[in-house]
Amino acid sequence: MTKVLLATVKPFAPAAKEGMANIFKSAGFELTLLEKYPNQDDLIKAVADVDALIIRSDIVDEQVINAAENLKIVVRAGAGYDNIDLKAASAKGIVAMNTPGQNSNAVAELAFGMIIYLNRNGFNGTAGTELRGKTIGIHAYGNVGKIIGYIAKGMGMEVHAYDPYVDKVIIENDGVKSENNVKDLYKKCQYISLNLPANNETKETINYDLLSLMPKGATLVNTARKEIICEKSLLKIFKERQDFRYISDITPDCKEQIARDYAGRYFFTPKKMAAQTAEANINAGLAAATQIVNFIKKGDTTFQVNK
Ligand code: 3PG
């Protein structure tokens, strides 16, 4: 019998787990849950005899892969797969997949929730600011970026985007101004929404040169990954510019310093939670379960990321 492990430090909503259990039951697969596990060793032990693995931001490094002797497929129920050692997976012939787009709406909605919270001074009753008429720049126009643009337009914002991997026509068909140059995006937009993956190409690329270009009222919104930010630059900008603000769903390593010196100019969620909605859990969880069944039963490798 095919054994599947759902390993999530951050558990899915009950309805998502129920739906996944039903998919595996119908397929004749055995599902085991490992949730809120305190140590990486727990994951290493739990993968020993599984054929398939579903994770979220859980770390699947070389050690996990080597411990999973029967593993054939690992599915990241979500978008970013920087937590999977793809090289180690490929070396063992293990297929790695993500579930693109399934939690994007939840991420985009949280971006605006955080912006409005900070713009209204934590809802403390003092006068805040509005989004209508302001400019927003979407840095990377993927599934999340597209929804950010859609919501921003609904709020009366002027929307720009930069993505060297997306055809200009696709961006402009959405009523979004496509920028040819990343610097132009930062120069023109008060709000920048970061929607890039973390990889060798993007690590620490959000740096002083870019941030210093932003106009007055500069607000950086990160629902992507902390690794894309150059934190030295972030602190430099905070120090130099009274108007600079940083909103992030991923706590930076320099959080203590920002909290100490720049009160009212930042907001960080206590725990990464952009994709943590019942709807996103159901979408991503069911997609992951279906992808596993289709791969094991039919060899379907759609959404493979380590080809
Ligand atoms: C993703 O890459 O899909 C998001 O960052 C969500 O991550 P999570 O599943 O750990 O909440």
Which residue has a Cα nearest atom 10 of ligand 1?
57
Contact between 229 and 222 under an 8 Å Cβ cutoff? The reply is yes
Q: How far is CA 92 from CA 51, 59, 66, 97, in A?
A: 13, 17, 8, 15
Is 103's C-beta closer than 6 angstroms to any atom of ligand 1?
A: yes
Q: What is the pLDDT of residue 137?
A: 99
Percent of the chain at pLDDT exceeding 90:
100
Q: What is the pLDDT of residue 307?
A: 82
Q: Is 27 left (phi over 0), alpha (psi -120 to 50) or beta?
A: alpha
- Chain centroid to Cα 138, Å, comes to 14
Q: Which residues of the chain have pLDDT under 70?
A: none
Cβ neighbours of residue 103 under 8 Å, at least 6 residues apart? 78, 79, 274, 275, 277, 280, 281, 283, 284
Is 275's C-beta closer than 6 angstroms to any atom of ligand 1?
A: yes
> Full-prediction pTM beyond 0.85?
yes
Report d(CA 258, CA 71) in Å as an integer. 42
Alpha helices in the chain (DSSP H): 14-27, 40-46, 62-67, 86-91, 104-119, 143-154, 168-173, 182-188, 208-211, 231-240, 255-261, 278-298
Dihedral (Cα; 148, 154, 155, 161), 10-degree rounding: 40
Q: Which atom of ligand 1 is nearest to the CA of 103?
A: 3
Alpha helices in 206-277 (DSSP H): 208-211, 231-240, 255-261
Question: Ligand 1: which of 57, 271, 281 to mutate, judged by most atoms within 8 Å of the beta carbon?
Answer: 57
Q: Which atom of ligand 1 is nearest to the CA of 56?
A: 9
Report d(CA 83, CA 9) in Å as an integer. 13
Q: What is the pLDDT of residue 185?
A: 98
Number of neighbouring beta carbons within 10 Å of residue 171:
23
Which residue has a Cα nearest atom 5 of ligand 1?
80
Question: Ligand 1: which of 10, 12, 35, 56 to mutate, judged by most atoms within 8 Å of the beta carbon?
Answer: 56
Report d(CA 246, CA 244) in Å as an integer. 7
